[in-house]
Amino acid sequence: MDEAVQEYLRLGAEKMGFALDREQIRQFTVYSELLVQWNEKMNLTAITEEREIIGKHFLDSLAGGVALQRDGREQVRLIDVGTGAGFPGIPLKIVLPGVSLTLLDSLQKRVAFLQEVCSQLGLQDVTCIHGRAEELGREVEYRENYDVAVSRAVAPLPVLLEYCSGFVRQGGLFLAYKGPSIVEELEISRNAVSKLQFSIRETMDMVIPDTEYRHFITIFEKIGSLPLKYPRKQSKIKKEPL
């Protein structure tokens, strides 16, 4: 990554409230290089130009960190559901190193990439898991065991709420990264929100610095204990979305 691109990253992060030190710039640089290298062998991202990786993946991922920092939730147990190539989980971990991070994806080869990134970046306290959200959310080890769940570009909101409901503890948060469809998605998610013991706190409209990209982050709070029947099996979620 050349100096101008690194400066774009540094300034963009600063505008979002994160002053990056040299080690953090190194971590983002290595991450970007690994993403481009591995993308030649496997499908990780359609975005391969450096500035775009910074804007659309790194800074975009940090938008959720703004909410966590504002709430003083920087030392949380956080799970990224359907993390793919590590978004938004890894950028959040780089700027909030006190986070205990779990990265979950249903594709094994993506998990291998995540392990390599975490090792080369020297990230501590990160667990990479291969599995399906709706199955792991029923297991004692994971069920309602996280302070925060985050997820970007994984499923329509009613389905995504069910995937993430299994992980978030009472009083914990779920941050859904969504595009402009968020207004309609919230409209069709009312039943899911109430059945899954969530309440809607707010939707943050985030503009990524020096770009015209906008992302909405809707923050849900878990207000009660999740009924045992949720999350349901994938076939049921698909056939009868809440």
Ligand X SMILES: C[S@@+](CC[C@H](N)C(=O)[O-])C[C@H]1O[C@@H](n2cnc3c(N)ncnc32)[C@H](O)[C@@H]1O
Nearer to ligand X, 73 or 110 (CB): 110
Task: Please provide residue 18's backbone torsions phi and psi, each rounded to the nearest 5 degrees.
Answer: -120, 110
Q: Which stretch binds ligand X (CB under 6 A): 22-30, 94-102, 106-114, 139-147?
A: 106-114
Helix, strand or coil, per DSSP, at residue 61: helix
Rounded to the nearest whole angstrom, what is the least distance from the CB of residue 105 to ligand X in the complex? Answer: 5
Q: Which stretch binds ligand X (CB under 6 A): 15-23, 81-89, 117-125, 180-188?
A: 81-89
In the list 10, 56, 93, 110, the residue contacting ligand X (rule: CB under 6 A) is: 110
Nearer to ligand X, 16 or 223 (CB): 16
87 is in an annotated binding site: yes
Nearer to ligand X, 22 or 229 (CB): 229
> Alpha-carbon distance 222 to 174, whole Å?
8
134 is in an annotated binding site: yes
> Alpha-carbon distance 163 to 165, whole Å?
6
152 is in an annotated binding site: yes
Residue 153 interacts with ligand X (CB under 6 A): yes or no = yes
List all residues 6 or more positions away from 90 whose beta carbon is below 8 Å from its beta carbon: 31, 61, 83, 101, 103, 114, 117, 118, 121, 123
| Tokens matching residue 84 | 């793919």
